[in-house]
Structure 1
Amino acid sequence: MVLNQSIKETKLPIFGRRHVQCLLLFFGVSLIYAMRVNLSIAIVAMMDKNASNPDFPEYKWSEQTKSRVISSFFCGYIFTQVPGGNLARRFGGKVMVLFTVTSSSILAILTPLAVSIGDWWLLCVLRFLQGLGQGSTMPASVTILAKWAPVEERSSLATYLFSGAQFGTVVMLGSSGALASSSLGWPSIFYIPGMCGLCWALIWLWLGASSPRDCKAITLAERNHIETSLNAHKKDDHEHEMPTKVPWRKIITSPPFLALLVAQSGYTWAFWTLLTQIPSYMNSVLHKDIKSNALLSSLPYLTMVILGFICCPFVRAFEESKVVSTTTSRKIFNTIGQWVPVPTFIWLAYVSADESDLAVVLLTVTVAISSITHFGWQVNHIDLSPHFSGTLVGLTNTAANIMSIIAPLVVGYIVTDPTSSQQWRIIFFIAGGYNFIANSLFLAFGSAEMQPWHNDEVKVQELHPLNEVSLVAKPADVEKRKAPV
């Protein structure tokens, strides 16, 4: 019996605890994004009861008020990006992710009540708080991924995790129309994802772990596999060195980090231009309102999720083959994800009104192919510094979300006549050009090498006997050498 248990402990499971963590984070991120985009859909029904179930309250808000309500989330979101990464590094990613999903779920459930009590201004406060809480989601998730993902699986596990954003968007876009028209009305667009979020939080509290060493259910073989992979890419032998402070100056003057920041900003500019402005373009120029068809409006993002999943095994096999270096691999996939959309942007700019079907195809290709950046800049934070990956995500996400605020303002400044294809052409050229320049800088200065400041100014923690056990130690040997932590 003991021998059989030892064999199980030393055999690497096909579906291990690292996959469980990634799957849980996938659904957690999906719920976070569902609670992020739900208002942009629900507010249509809230302002026009004839568009949904007329038995629920209607609010006569102006377009200016509508914009304030929608933007209030992002005003809170940008403030907790960097602090969220630091808190995840200090207290563990599990606690921070649990907080973000739980707080966002409670606020989502309270949304209909808040609107009935305080109208739009209380809704703005609630959405601001929701954004404030969600700001640390991605930094904390990446902090967890940095400790759970073996180097050769880093791209694929990151893709599965990040695809949760598109999955949550697709599900929310596809189901919101039916929910608003049902007997539950538009409040169900807030209640259902909120309740699902609380259920997820209970499962995460039970199964989630910040690192393999915090997970009691992980096998010795899987823990050894993860730690061996991560230790093989360290620049020194101090496995348990922990930074005493963040080397801010060295980070913000690091060429690879700045190239990463520009690449993410370029991607975000193009992504949010498409997400927020394409419906208006297709309605005004091509005379085809894709918002009226939930399936059509979610098609580009559904395709994005599917393509990302399809590419994962091929990319993993490619990286494990060691045909090229990790840096070259990152640059190849980032180039596909950011340069292929450049000609489709240009083509989309010259599509005529009687070619609206072609425009939908081009839109789908442009959004879907950008999922390849999951294997490029989106995982590059962990490459540069596993210790500070959450902090790096916080910095780049802050810059990227500023782009998501500026991009619609630029559209409003340039497109004074929504029916003018010439004015829209400028918007597409800006998005395509920004993508081209951003990836060019990533090609020139990007890197997947761990940076010198990763272990800068560290305090070596005292190793207890368990930590000194050989990575290939047998379970029986481990039991003999265990000591109190």
Structure 2
Amino acid sequence: MSSAKKPNEWGSRHTLSLAGFFMCALWYSMRFNMSFAIVAMVENPVQKQGINENDPEYKVTKKMCPALRSEYNESLINPNYPMEHTVQTFEWDERDQGLILGSFFWGYVITQLPGAILAQKFGGKFVIGLGMLATALLSLILPSAAIWGGKEAVVCIRILQGLFEGVVFPSLTVLLSKWTPPQERAHLSALCISGMPFGNAFTMLISGHLITAFGWPAMFYFPGVLTIIWLIFWITLVFSSPEQHPRISKTELEHLKNSLGTGKSECINISQVPWKEITCSVPFWAIFISQFFLAWGHNMLKSCGPKYLHSALRFDIRENSYLSATPDICQWIFCIGVGQLVDHLVANKCISLLHARKLCNTIGQWGSALMFCGIIFAGCNRWLAVVCYIMSGMINGAMFSGSIINPMDISPNYSGAIEGVINSAANIAGFGAPYLAGLILYHEPSIAGWRYVFLIPVVCNLIGNLAFLIGASVKIQKWNEIKNSNVVVTKL
């Protein structure tokens, strides 16, 4: 295979990664905005009685750390705010809130594999665009539906949002596999996927300001409107493959053809995916186990982290908002830096691609496990616990250059289908992780209970990375070839 000189100028593949960054940010914002909005949507009986949760005399839960002595910080949902007189609130109990928060993932796990197949057939650009548009429109109508239909309407809309967002990540995997050469894959994919922690952090940081200024509906209107604006740029600037791009430079097209091959992928149906060969593949199971256990640690941190900071360490709600956002901000910066460094080391032959994937995954999972251990042993040492809490989220960003992009290494043609299957199974943790944490804390509402909660991601990350170290590969697997005489098979 001939080699083409790598173009140094900003190219269409970089534009795709940047557009993907904003897509991932909005995708995650609409995915987790309910976690913050529901605080304002539900009447708080404690506030209704005029009790200050930060008062040392008031115990939020039993056997937790002593409350911080600080000036009273008004809650983001203080009933004295004018907006509370015009925006309806709801009397949803803890079970209702858990049902609403988990309902998104009921739909999300269903459309992972169909999303990959649709992206392979119609192009990742269109599947992502339609999925994001539908999610945005549902976000815009959710406040009205909640007021008129109550809990049941909200659950239905969240399930539908999960169904439409479920197609996004496997479609993105298909898109990136067509646009990112192996020697540039880490930093281009990291730039794109880093939008996820950025979007989550941004949502946390602005949630209080939006709610207090405009009421809880703003948490759904804001990302919905931004997504529709983003869609205009997505349709204009992004294309499903380099061959379809009308404005790509000849130099960049030649570079991508020599790096990724010149063949166009077939419109693959589910029946055409070599499931038997994939499920008998050791590299597939290495990725599967790694990402499955990653999801448990990731969702435990996202769903239980703010609650831990508030109920166990007793930070007030404004401090909680900033501290909850910090791990995602650090992860966003860290994963981009790691991606750049990894591609530089691989390009200069300082480290092999396989060793780079394994090293990044080890830093991400075992490093995160070590930080969770720090949280366990920190107890009521708040600042040690906070440092470990932030580091656990930040270090995890190295996995964006590890097992998360590894499906594109072993099978460019079926990477979307592989990621669809893995993401379907892994996102069971979306409702499983917080439910398991709730069971533990129900029986042991104390610092000791939180230690058991954080012990789960320690064990998960240790097992996940061990499997990846044993079975990972970066070689294109034999079953990657599309067995159809009408298709020109992509070869590297």
* TM-score category of the 2 structures, normalised to the smaller one: 0.7 to 0.9
- What's the counterpart of residue 414 of structure 2? 388
Q: Specify whether residues 161 and 269 from structure 1 end up closer, same or farther in structure 2 by C-alpha distance, changes over 3 A only.
A: same
Following superposition, the deviation at residue 352 of structure 1 comes to 2.6
Q: Specify whether residues 462 and 32 from structure 1 end up closer, same or farther in structure 2 by C-alpha distance, changes over 3 A only.
A: closer
Instruction: Indicate the SS of the match to 1:413.
Output: helix
- Contact kept, 8 Å, 2:361 with 2:465, in 1: the verdict is yes
Of 445-454 and 423-432, the range deviating more from structure 2: 423-432
2:259 counterpart letter in structure 1: S
**2:112 corresponds to 1:81:** yes
The C-alpha deviation readout for 1:307-357, integer Å capped at 9, x for no partner, is 12222321221111123321121111111111112222122111132x111
- Give, in whole Å, the separation in 1 of the partners of 2:287 and 2:389: 25
TM-score, normalized by length of structure 1?
0.88
> Counterparts of 1:358-397 in structure 2 under 5 Å?
358-397=384-423
- Contact kept, 8 Å, 1:144 with 1:210, in 2: the verdict is yes
- What's the counterpart of residue 479 of structure 1? none
- Give, in whole Å, the separation in 1 of the partners of 2:139 and 2:131: 12
Gaps of 5+ in 1: 1-9, 232-237, 468-485
- Give, in whole Å, the separation in 1 of the partners of 2:32 and 2:441: 24
**2:366 corresponds to 1:339:** yes
- Contact kept, 8 Å, 1:163 with 1:305, in 2: the verdict is yes
Following superposition, the deviation at residue 125 of structure 1 comes to 0.8
- Contact kept, 8 Å, 1:29 with 1:161, in 2: the verdict is yes
Of 63-72 and 169-178, the range deviating more from structure 2: 63-72
- What's the counterpart of residue 251 of structure 1? 278
> Counterparts of 1:83-232 in structure 2 under 5 Å?
83-182=114-213, 184-231=214-261
Instruction: Give the length in aligned residue pairs.
Output: 447
Higher helix share: 1
Which of 27, 42, 52 is equivalent to 1:47? 42
1:359 counterpart letter in structure 2: A
Following superposition, the deviation at residue 396 of structure 1 comes to 0.9
> Counterparts of 1:297-336 in structure 2 under 5 Å?
297-336=324-363
Which of 388, 391, 409 is equivalent to 2:435? 409
- Give, in whole Å, the separation in 1 of the partners of 2:240 and 2:178: 8
**2:34 corresponds to 1:34:** no
The C-alpha deviation readout for 1:134-168, integer Å capped at 9, x for no partner, is 00101111111000111111011111111111111
Q: Specify whether residues 142 and 462 from structure 1 end up closer, same or farther in structure 2 by C-alpha distance, changes over 3 A only.
A: closer
- What's the counterpart of residue 436 of structure 1? 462
Instruction: Indicate the SS of the match to 2:428.
Output: helix
The C-alpha deviation readout for 1:37-84, integer Å capped at 9, x for no partner, is 111111111113536631311112222111111111111111000110
- Contact kept, 8 Å, 2:170 with 2:420, in 1: the verdict is yes
- Contact kept, 8 Å, 1:284 with 1:419, in 2: the verdict is no
- What's the counterpart of residue 307 of structure 2? 280
- Contact kept, 8 Å, 2:263 with 2:488, in 1: the verdict is no
- Give, in whole Å, the separation in 2 of the partners of 1:358 and 1:273: 19
Q: Specify whether residues 133 and 341 from structure 1 end up closer, same or farther in structure 2 by C-alpha distance, changes over 3 A only.
A: same
Of 307-316 and 364-373, the range deviating more from structure 2: 307-316
- Give, in whole Å, the separation in 1 of the partners of 2:273 and 2:283: 17
- Give, in whole Å, the separation in 1 of the partners of 2:247 and 2:23: 21
Gaps of 5+ in 2: 44-76
- Contact kept, 8 Å, 1:290 with 1:297, in 2: the verdict is no
- What's the counterpart of residue 348 of structure 1? 375
- Give, in whole Å, the separation in 2 of the partners of 1:154 and 1:460: 29
User: Which ranges of 4 or more aligned residues in structure 1 deviate by more than 4 Å?
Assistant: 289-292
- Contact kept, 8 Å, 1:179 with 1:185, in 2: the verdict is yes
- Give, in whole Å, the separation in 2 of the partners of 1:462 and 1:36: 38
- Give, in whole Å, the separation in 2 of the partners of 1:266 and 1:290: 30
Q: Specify whether residues 361 and 197 from structure 1 end up closer, same or farther in structure 2 by C-alpha distance, changes over 3 A only.
A: same
- Contact kept, 8 Å, 2:120 with 2:265, in 1: the verdict is no
Which of 290, 293, 310 is equivalent to 1:263? 290
- Give, in whole Å, the separation in 2 of the partners of 1:11 and 1:147: 16
Following superposition, the deviation at residue 461 of structure 1 comes to 3.2
Following superposition, the deviation at residue 359 of structure 1 comes to 0.7
The C-alpha deviation readout for 1:108-146, integer Å capped at 9, x for no partner, is 111111112211111111111111000010111111100
Task: Among all aligned residue pairs of Structure 1 and Structure 2, give the percentage whose two residues are the same amino acid.
Answer: 33
- Contact kept, 8 Å, 1:241 with 1:460, in 2: the verdict is no
